[in-house]
């Protein structure tokens, strides 16, 4: 005890702290040793760098706050995000920051000075995700299993690093790391597979008691069944039926052409209308790309009475070339660079009058969202024609246009990375789909359009 007391006393004297000789109990010596440790930590050490993300588990369209603390003041750092897609491909983004005088970097308010994006972009690490240099060509990030999250790894690095430097050594220079979960489905949202009366789809229902307002959700000529937008709708309180109409194993007939007609879409709408947890008088339609033509057709030609329609970058009509175009075999759909695009085919003047939507018969509000850099569909020209026809019919008040410079064809939920070109078909010849869009303005368009789309649905489905 005397030896311990002597050691503690000598060390405390170096700090200017004195003790009385009579304080010699083991308990007091232990307290003094603890005090000595606190003094040394405070005078000589600094907390380890800390990276935080709040919330660490959120829906894909929700912002999170990312912050690095306990860093050297006014020093360069890199924040990196990386994740693996469901197919196993690596996607990543990184950005350069400089800490403030307190050794803090806050992505909510601090500007990026380099890397995958520039400026103050709180969610830049997510919308700027892109395939790693070693990844396969022509990737597009799409969620197939909405009941599992994307798990994104965030890490904080010393200095301004490039992507190549990051992959050289995963340990050197890494100051802190954590993972966040990005979900398309909120807890207690219900997913119900629909195989009824020939209808193929997935119904998503919000948590809690119904009945709920609802949407019928159609995608484009990629075919299959895409659920993630409907899952998000239900997570926000709107029931949604994601509907397949071609290119799905449960739909009979050749996979590369549309084998269903008006009866199919009428059955899908009626199925949703008759569901006990859906308010049958409060149903809207939403379509992307070719899905725009289909939802406009449903609203004007087959006797349905939706409360509203949302179209995202789609045509005003169809034509006889769609079946061959679906499989990418139409030479007119492939440009000189091997890019698959239907922009010329969807120009209103290239669509026969009999194949156009009779938009003048529309009886509900229409929100048309377009990217001015859409390189796949004649969206600007389609919007112009729709607006002109409705104006001539005395229905201008039904039309709302959201137009976004620099945005491409695939305007999706917020913070989703844009793909301007992706692989459309690998065999017998590699053909790429040319979507268009520039990362930052496309991301801004997705965020703004998503908010205004919900405002539109709230106004027309809930009131």
- Is 289 annotated as catalytic? yes
How do 239-243 and 199-205 pair as beta strands?
Answer: antiparallel
Nearest residue to 105 (alpha-carbon basis) of 175, 179, 3, 173: 175
Active-site entry in 61, 374, 416, 442: 374
b/e per residue 244-259 (b: at least 16 CB within 10 A): bbbbeeebeeeebebe
Q: Tokens 């049958």 — which residue?
A: 280
**Rounded (10°) angle between helices 2-13 and 26-44:** 30
- Contacts of 40 by beta carbon, 8 Å cutoff, 6+ apart: none
Residue 124 in 3-state DSSP? helix
For residue 371, the surrounding DSSP H or E stretch is strand 366-371
Active-site entry in 112, 289, 382, 422: 289
Residue 20 Cα distances to 8, 13, 29, angstroms: 12, 12, 12
- 346 is written with which tokens? 């969807």
- Is 188 annotated as catalytic? no
Active-site entry in 5, 96, 275, 409: 409
- Contacts of 76 by beta carbon, 8 Å cutoff, 6+ apart: 96, 97, 98, 158, 159, 160
> How far is 174 from 158, CA to CA, in rounded Å?
7
Q: How many CB atoms lie within 10 A of CB 388?
A: 14
> Whole-angstrom distance between the N-terminal and C-terminal Cα of the chain?
79
Is-contact 262 270, C-beta < 8 A? Answer: no
Is-contact 282 307, C-beta < 8 A? Answer: yes
State the catalytic residues.
289, 374, 409
């Amino acid at each position: 005890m005397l030896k311990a007391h002597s050691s503690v006393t000598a060390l405390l004297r170096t700090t200017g702290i004195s003790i009385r000789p009579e304080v010699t109990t083991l308990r007091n010596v232990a307290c003094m040793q603890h005090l000595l440790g606190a003094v040394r930590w405070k005078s000589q050490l600094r907390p380890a760098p800390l990276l935080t993300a709040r919330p660490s588990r959120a829906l894909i369209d929700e912002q999170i706050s990312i912050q690095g603390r306990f860093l050297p003041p006014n020093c360069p750092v890199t924040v990196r995000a990386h994740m693996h897609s469901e197919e196993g491909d690596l996607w990543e983004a990184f950005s350069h920051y400089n800490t403030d005088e307190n050794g803090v970097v806050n992505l909510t308010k601090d500007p990026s000075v380099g890397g995958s994006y520039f400026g103050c972009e709180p969610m830049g690490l997510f919308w700027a995700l892109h395939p790693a240099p070693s990844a396969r060509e022509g990737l597009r990030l799409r969620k197939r299993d909405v009941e599992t999250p994307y798990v994104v790894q965030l890490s904080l690095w010393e200095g301004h690093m490039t992507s190549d430097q990051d992959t050289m050594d995963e340990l050197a220079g890494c100051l802190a790391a954590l993972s966040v979960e990005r979900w398309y489905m909120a807890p207690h949202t219900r997913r119900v597979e629909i195989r009824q009366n020939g209808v193929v789809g997935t119904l998503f229902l919000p948590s809690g008691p119904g009945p709920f307002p609802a949407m019928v959700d159609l995608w484009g000529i990629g075919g299959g069944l895409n659920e993630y937008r409907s899952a998000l709708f239900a997570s926000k309180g709107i029931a949604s039926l994601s509907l397949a109409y071609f290119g799905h194993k449960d739909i009979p007939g050749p996979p590369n052409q549309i084998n269903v007609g008006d009866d199919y879409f009428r059955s899908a709408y009626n199925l949703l209308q008759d569901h006990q947890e859906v308010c049958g008088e409060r149903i809207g339609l939403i379509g992307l790309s070719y899905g725009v033509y289909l939802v406009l057709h449903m609203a004007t030609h087959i006797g349905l009475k939706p409360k509203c329609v949302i179209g995202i970058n789609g045509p005003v009509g169809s034509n006889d070339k769609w079946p061959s175009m679906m499989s990418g075999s139409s030479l007119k759909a492939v440009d000189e660079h091997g890019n698959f695009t239907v922009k010329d085919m969807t120009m209103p003047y290239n669509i026969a009058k009999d194949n156009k939507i009779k938009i003048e018969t529309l009886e509900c509000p229409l929100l048309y969202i377009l990217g001015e850099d859409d390189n796949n569909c004649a969206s600007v020209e389609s919007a112009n024609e729709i607006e002109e026809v409705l104006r001539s019919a005395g229905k201008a008040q039904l039309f709302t246009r959201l137009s976004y410079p620099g945005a491409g064809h695939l305007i999706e939920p917020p913070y989703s990375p844009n793909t301007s070109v992706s692989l459309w078909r690998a065999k017998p010849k590699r053909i790429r789909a040319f979507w268009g869009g520039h990362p930052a303005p496309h991301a801004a368009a997705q965020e703004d359009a998503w908010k205004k789309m919900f405002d539109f649905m709230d106004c027309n489905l809930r009131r």
